[in-house]
Structure 1
Amino acid sequence: MKERVDSVSTYIKTINDSLKEMRKSTDCDLFCYRGEQHNYETSGMPNIFRGNNLKHMNESKNYEKNVIDEVISNDLSKHENYLQAAINAQHGGFPSRLLDVTFNSLIGLFFAVTPHYTKKITESDHEDGVVIIYAIDKLYSSNSKGIQSYFEMIISSNNDGENNENERIKGYIHRLIDFTNLNSRIKAQQGGLILFSGNEFIPLPSWKEKKIIIAKEAKINIREELKDLFGMTIGTIYPESDNLVGYLTEKAKLLTEENTEEDLIYELKKQLDHYYYEFQKVKFYKGEDLLHFLYDIEEYLYSYVESIFESEKLEKNTQKDLLNIVEDFCEMISLKLPEDYSFVDYNSLIKERGLL
């Protein structure tokens, strides 16, 4: 059940309780937040995967790269590498596979109750808002040559099938990029970006995120509390500069370099570990809850395994490792099921999709 809050104080308590729970279930100590004015099923989706942007990306060769080339050539960014140019263009409405997040939970709340400054302040007050908490287990620097090269590879991929590195299987990889002080707006919002790697939208794994619903009837009051208690308005969201050394040192421990094959194995293991963690709780309730939970896992596995076999760029050893992880998981769930319940076995998982 998603949390629903109606004041800044209940929000802070809910965040605190949620972080305690997520620390136990994810083994993560760093979290970021995204606030949206509407609680859509597509919350947390970069705009490149919406409407005409998705159509252009799939039909036009080098669409994303061409857009950023135009940004650079028109002096809309002082950076010449594609990643940092894309980050600077992020707030200009350009199509992007980067998703804005913040490391400050109150700024996440601010965006959940406050529309863009070009819109009427009460425009979204008729609908619940949402703050999404993301657990961070790996962090990438926007100055890293590895992540810069990885981003350029993604946006340079052809759409004619000949050199398309940007396959569906890559969509299961999401990378949190830390760039708190890259420009003034990002600095003000204490921000980061999540890079979505695939050529279609695949949300972050469920073990990494949690939604908190912001009651629509409380939005006006929350905006007033944020202004009165924290001085947070459209023009005054700026971070404190004190104690940055300790904070940045902790984030530095998570910085890593890009490795697609290792990341795929890591993310699959973490997702299946999360499913097993939840399974241990749900199996005791049995009934419809358990059936729905098992169905959701099976659908995930069907989709993931199909992506493995569709990939032409995946190394054979990596493919084998991923399939072995899936096989071990299917066997483990089947052995732990209560009587009268069943779970798809590995061979059926492969054969039912005609993959063998």
Structure 2
Amino acid sequence: MITIDALCFPHIIDSVLFHLHFDAQYATLASFRLTCSALKHVIDSRLPLHKAVAYEATNNALSPGSHEHQQHFHLYCETRLWNAYTDRRSTNRILEVVDVTIMAAASRCGPNFQLGPVPVVRIFDYPGGPIPSATKTVIIFPSSSHFAVPAASTRYVELSSTASRIVINMPYESKGGPHDRPPDFNFGYAAAKAHDDDRGLKNIVQQPQQLVLMFSNSSCGDLAEPGRYLKDWMFSLAKVLCHNPSLEVILLADNWNWVWFCEDDDPEWGDYHGLMEYEDGPQRLNVAWRALFFRYLIHTPAIYDPESSASRIWVLTMAEYAAEIGHSLFELMLID
């Protein structure tokens, strides 16, 4: 019989315990806890808990005194498990992650969508609506079916005004062509959306935040169809920087294409062919997104400082950002 010392070979112990969990061998794990204090310590403290929560819609009902149907949700399932993505030997590990999967019948997250204080919340198949509060990091994976609709007003992601970090990872299917584009969509704060014209609003949110915007090329499932170019997306970016003076934006630009930010048949653009003068791809991309970004700010009724707003936008690679926040948290931002 071979004896494995849990203190000398922690990576082996971690791997064994994780695969036991993955195979739902909870009785075996419970027995392991009783074998020695080292294994008990691993199970109880080194491996963080991960909550998987799913909500589904109930029948719509008219609320008292209202003629509008209210969407209500109830807990579909809840499982506590160990998170495979967390660096289990890190002293700064993620202690708890909540995964929220909105069921297909749900059209919005709904007003009753509440969670207790947790470090990280991931929302899968997000169909629009309020984002959970009382969380440090919110990672949003928009619903491909919801964001494939033609109406721009419904392709909207609501930003939390309380979270420290907000990540929007939009999945799309690329055919590998030079002009493939991810779907265009809007995003912003609820306080701004309440106004008919939010272009002149400033400083409506006073919260130090980091907004991370990324796109994931995936061939899994029925993903959103590509749009013409990211006009609404870039205009939303310009607005939220004005709405929150303490907002910092990270663009994770791996495999981005400069054509995402311009259209050759757009009469207002005019600089499409001029970008071809830049032989360097990253430089052409940088000129393209900045041109579209400044185009919005120039046409706003309020007097903004475009250079000041642009200085709060950082273009990074995924490797650079992972090194900044840690690979454990970064892995949670990716599509499984």
Normalization by structure 2: what TM-score?
A: 0.28
Q: Which has the larger radius of gyration?
A: 2
Structure with the larger RCO, 1 or 2 (CA within 8 Å, 6+ apart): 1
User: As a proportion of its length, which structure holds more strand?
Assistant: 2
User: As a proportion of its length, which structure holds more helix?
Assistant: 1
Normalization by structure 1: what TM-score?
A: 0.27
